[in-house]
Amino acid sequence: MANHSIIDIRGLTLITDPIDPEGNLACADRVTLLEDINLQVFPGETVLITGHSGSGKTSLLRVLNGLIPHIIPGNITGFVEVAGQVPWKVELSDAGSVSASVFQNPRTQFFATDVLSELSFAPANRNVPREEILERVAQVAPAMGVASLLDRRMGELSGGERQRVAIASAVVGQPKVYLLDEPTANLDDRSTQQVSEAIAELRRRGATILIAEHRLHYLNGLVDRVVEMKGGRVLRDMPAQDFWSLDQQARAAAGLRCFDLPCPVHVPEVPRVKTRENSHHRFTEGLVLGDFDVPGLRNEGALQFPRGAITCITGDNGAGKTTLVRSIVGLCKPMGTVELDGEELSIRERRKRSFAVMQDVNRQLFSSSLVEEMLLSVGHRSSVNAKEIEMVLASLGLGEMGERHPLSLSGGQRQRLAVATAKVSGADVIAFDEPTCGLDLTAMKHMGRVIRNCAEEGAVVLVVTHDRELIEEIADFELRMPRGRLRG
């Protein structure tokens, strides 16, 4: 390992402003995101950056890749160099040759309409010969599990497939430093293992890698050091072997996820009811799905999602979990029939009586403060008052942030806000798509309690998730989606 650091950070402090999706200032609040960060990373090191949600992990990566202040406004003080260059002094068009990033929401970093073009985009813009680009793609695609996706359009990919393409695009670009922001956030176990193998291959090639992550089990044995952050500061910087030796009590106190792959959780299967021909004999309270063409689930009776219970919908990436939920709540073309308490719902009624928290919560945050966002979701529930809103925000660790702009929050905090809006919506059917993406152990448990409260108030609650710790925490029933895409 070289004696000179490839990443050198001394006294870094970041004070930034809330922004809208276009990068414009949305209000005058000023928030300290990083404070007096000192960190050196050496060539060939793999460093895990972990800590509570909102501790500054993503902000640190955004300073290193130049997004702050090139795109996201911020006041930076201190000394920062990446591969001998100051990130905010490098033209953004040249930044990709220094560092490559994979974001929490990969949709925000795509430029092409198909997978092969996306993988080729970065090197093509640096005038790499086409033959060399195709050779790189041929080597990277199988290692990253995207070889079968090369002819697919980007808009057809599932959330997990998009994440794998984003990582593969970074590898094809051959940067000096890799910055991975929760690269397995939306991935199933099989895809996570592919990412783990890809990181191992990068290590063998001598790459320098920073990984901001809550999901830890797949990184055991793959990192050299662990940096734990809290409140925008570096709390601990320790050798990996010391980190993995932490006992369960110390791990839980730090809000860290499990160090080993959780064992499969045994949850009762979702109930079945008789087919429509005998519908007058069946118990109809709750949500009943009929005439859905799901490979492996046909001809086994309609599916029933009871009121007052949480049904976790699981399965591999691309199995159709999100498509199923979007159809249930009326966000895409109707598939099959949906009955609620014995009444068949039109697509309009599905929308009216449902509330969904989808993977990309940025697309469903509209107001200039957390409190206003909550009030926007209340709708007809005039009984919800300011005190209840305050209590719901506090239950998710957002109690002191009521007047903050939603876009000033971290990814995990935005996720919690979206779940808070679902809690006060009063909807009969509430669906969550990967609600614990970007959440530490403590935030995940808080999230689980709020989701449980939604069920206790009588709602039908559906949760699409790969998070085994969450399933163990909240699931009453499970619908396991087999491989193969959902057909309507």
**DSSP secondary-structure letter at 293?**
B
pLDDT mean for each 10 residues of the chain (488 residues): 85 77 53 94 97 91 93 92 94 84 82 96 93 96 90 84 87 93 83 84 91 92 96 96 91 85 80 61 73 59 90 87 89 83 92 90 88 84 77 90 86 88 92 89 90 94 93 94 59
Sign of CA dihedral 62, 260, 413, 170: positive
Rg (CA), the chain: 23
What's the confidence (pLDDT) of residue 18?
53
What's the confidence (pLDDT) of residue 409?
85
Domains of the chain: 7-98+175-253 (3.40.50.300), 272-481 (3.40.50.300)
**Of the candidates 56, 5, 52, which has an alpha carbon nearest to the alpha carbon of residue 35?**
56
Could you give the CA distance from residue 466 to residue 287 in angstroms, rounded to a whole number?
23
- With H, G, I as helix, E, B as strand and everything else as coil, classify residue 401: coil
Could you give the CA distance from residue 439 to residue 418 in angstroms, rounded to a whole number?
13
Q: Against a cut of 0.85, is the pTM above it? A: no
What's the confidence (pLDDT) of residue 239?
97
Sign of CA dihedral 46, 50, 53, 55: negative
